Structure 1
Amino acid sequence: MHEPAPTATGRNSAGRARVVPPLVLLGAVAVADLATPDWLHVLPVMAAVPVLAAATNGVWVTAVLAGATLGATVLLEIRQELWERPDSDVTILTLVVVSLASLLACSVRQRRERELRQVRSVAEAAQRALLRPLPRRIHSLALSGTYLAAESEARIGGDFYEALHTPYGTRLLIGDVRGKGLPAVGASAALLGSFRQAAYQEKSLADVARRLEESVNRQIEAVHGELFTERFATALLVEIPSAEPVARLVHCGHPEPLMIRAGRVEAHLPEPPGAPIGLADLVGADPVTQCVPFAEGDRMVLYTDGFIETRDRAGRFYDLVGRARARSTQPLDDLVAGLRADLLRHATGDLEDDAALLVIERSAT
């Protein structure tokens, strides 16, 4: 979901709110100086006003507030017959120097904020291109998914998913690259690119998995200069033909999918277990296609290990099966949103690993 863009009214309100703290400080120092005895003056504290203004406001607002502070200080000194005294000159000089330094710091801050906004804009565009929004529907299939990145400034990390309508039916991929955050994005991009091409070209789902294995091996050899490293990815490939009430699965060392049928939640274990992508050649494993029932009204839950290995403060794992069973009758989007909220509550908002979830529901054509 995209957050709505801030309106002009909202921006103006926020701007006015940022002016309030330095104005309050200006007024408070002025009142305090008038209320204190002649031998005690707090006017030097006025230097904090432009500093506070520069921390949250623009250059022009900071300049206006600095000028207002300087004018108020001069008026107070004249009123209390302090003008042209040595300590008065020191106060005014200090205020001028601090105001100029505040304006310089404000200018630098604004320039860096503009650069950061540009970098974030480019990063978000790249991440949207890599992890494209899921189609809400592909023929008789309704889809809904969510992604939670462990890196706070990222929208994608080492987990990935994709759903494509191909000549062989709807093909889906969900996976998890070893590692998390931005260092794993390159491997995710390579796997997604390979899947998007192979899913349309290969008739067999097992051959799609072999193409992913080749892609990872090429990347490992090109980047690391050796065939076998600790770089690998778990993945689950799913093919749902439109004319058959079944789903075909190829497990590549990934957590088994959950099937929600008539209020029951069952895990479909692979037979036999498959090797993670990038390690198949090492262990001599070949991808095996498994066929499971998937009829009208059934739901399939695909997920990464972030949804089952997240612990709460007491060290307990998140119970995805139990939470999916409790929410099994909810509409599809509510089910996904509820599982996401449950996970964040369980982790108290601090995820240690990326987490992705994709739910497919089969309905009447």
Structure 2
Amino acid sequence: MPFALLAVIALVELATPGWLRLGPVLAAAPVLAAAISGLRVTAAVAASAIGVKALIDMDFERFGSFTSQVVNIALVAVGLASVLACSIRLRRERELTQVRSVAETAQRTLIRPLPARVDPVLLQGTYMAAEAEALVGGDFYEVLHTPHGVRLLIGDVRGKGLPAVDASAALLGAFREAAHHEPCLADVARWLEGSAHRNIQRLYGEEFTERFATALLVEIPDEPVVRLVHCGHPEPLAIHHGVIHGRGAAEPGPPIGLADLVESGPMVETIPFDVGDRLVLYTDGVIEARDRSGRFYPLPERMARWSAHPLDQLVAHVRADLRRHAGGDLNDDAALLAIERLPHPG
């Protein structure tokens, strides 16, 4: 583009009367090169601009005149400034690339890539952060193979930004530890409650009753059942023979961080989960996404279109459809995790 701009200016200069001087416009070429090209290209464009100006002056027999010399000095100054600006831009871009690389590594450590399969289940998930240029936010999920079966956690910290990410990291760390040690899923939820009181109040610097996290804990043993602990989280959707229905808790527990406000503790609910059955977990960012007319995203209705598709296609369709529904931008983080029971390897 900078060289094309030089050629266009030169042709227009040669095709117009001599009194119409476009030589100073040549300075736009090195400025453009500094914005979009590398250091060598910028230097070459700056030198070419001076050369083209000299050729034009010789063609019009005004080389060496006072006006010509002033324009040449200006082109040299603009060329040197463009090379310097290009050098600064490239250095800033390298720094930004390094910072983004570190940030992406840290975020992927928090929300680790899901394995395609953890016996006896098939897994697919997606995460859409509301913050621009972010990979994760206040929503979180984790899947672990433990001595007590496959255990999953999906949750949503109240709030946004770095404090929400830090709170998510604290809860994920607690789950990764408790899931291997606590034989009862309700005790894992109590462990998360203790972690919340120790960490999230420190992060937000206020009474923890103003900050909480909804969560859903899932345990898939070798038997054809699934165990759930609801902590103020949206109910999962179960798919049995292509039919979708919600799995709300008979006695849902309070969100993580609000257990002191109620007398009852977390309760474990057991529901059938046989070979071929599916369970879809999600955060409120999915079902609360609005279109331009203010309508919420109808997850069960839309998901029914693809309930018979392979699990990866089901998640991909829901993700793309959610983006279209929200007009490309989500107002809240959104996470979705789909699970399918597989035949036992034995």
Cα distance in structure 1, aligned partners of 2:33 and 2:206: 56
Going from structure 1 to structure 2, the CA distance change for 1:272 and 1:103 (only over 3 Å counts) comes to same
Offset, 1:36: 1.0
Cα distance in structure 1, aligned partners of 2:42 and 2:57: 22
**Equivalent residues in 2 for 1:142-221, closer than 5 Å:** 142-221=122-201
Is 1:254 matched with 2:227? no
Greater than 6 Å deviation, 4+ residue runs: none
Assess if the C-alpha contact under 8 Å between 1:257 and 1:301 holds in 2: yes
Q: Which amino acid aligns with 1:67?
A: A
Q: RMSD of aligned C-alpha atoms? A: 1.2
Assess if the C-alpha contact under 8 Å between 1:154 and 1:182 holds in 2: no
Assess if the C-alpha contact under 8 Å between 1:136 and 1:143 holds in 2: yes
**2:104 pairs with 118, 124, 135, which one?**
124
Deviations 1:275-326 (A, max 9, x none): 1111111334411111111111100000001110000111111110011111
Deviations 1:4-33 (A, max 9, x none): xxxxxxxxxxxxxxxxx1011000000011
Deviations 1:132-187 (A, max 9, x none): 11111111210110111111211111111111111111100000111234331101
Larger mean CA deviation between 276-285 and 251-260 belongs to 276-285
Deviations 1:83-122 (A, max 9, x none): 1222212211111111111111111100100000000111
Q: What is the match of residue 314 of structure 1?
A: 293
Assess if the C-alpha contact under 8 Å between 1:308 and 1:320 holds in 2: yes
Q: What is the match of residue 278 of structure 1?
A: 257
Q: What is the match of residue 79 of structure 1?
A: 59
Which ranges of structure 1 fall in alignment gaps of 5 or more residues?
1-20
Assess if the C-alpha contact under 8 Å between 2:240 and 2:277 holds in 1: yes
State, as a whole percentage, how many aligned pairs show the same letter: 62
SS at match of 1:348: coil
- Aligned residue pairs: how many? 344
Assess if the C-alpha contact under 8 Å between 1:220 and 1:227 holds in 2: no
Offset, 1:270: 1.3
SS at match of 2:208: coil
**Equivalent residues in 2 for 1:1-365, closer than 5 Å:** 21-224=1-204, 227-242=207-222, 244-365=223-344
Deviations 1:29-63 (A, max 9, x none): 00011111111111110000000000011111100
Going from structure 1 to structure 2, the CA distance change for 1:125 and 1:255 (only over 3 Å counts) comes to same
Cα distance in structure 2, aligned partners of 1:229 and 1:304: 20
Assess if the C-alpha contact under 8 Å between 1:312 and 1:346 holds in 2: yes
Cα distance in structure 1, aligned partners of 2:137 and 2:14: 58
Cα distance in structure 2, aligned partners of 1:83 and 1:270: 87
The normalised TM-score by structure 2 is 0.97
Going from structure 1 to structure 2, the CA distance change for 1:262 and 1:323 (only over 3 Å counts) comes to same
Q: What is the match of residue 3 of structure 1?
A: none
Assess if the C-alpha contact under 8 Å between 1:49 and 1:65 holds in 2: yes
Q: Which amino acid aligns with 2:249?
A: P
Going from structure 1 to structure 2, the CA distance change for 1:75 and 1:319 (only over 3 Å counts) comes to same
Cα distance in structure 2, aligned partners of 1:144 and 1:316: 27
Offset, 1:210: 0.4
SS at match of 1:124: helix
Cα distance in structure 1, aligned partners of 2:170 and 2:177: 11
SS at match of 1:94: helix
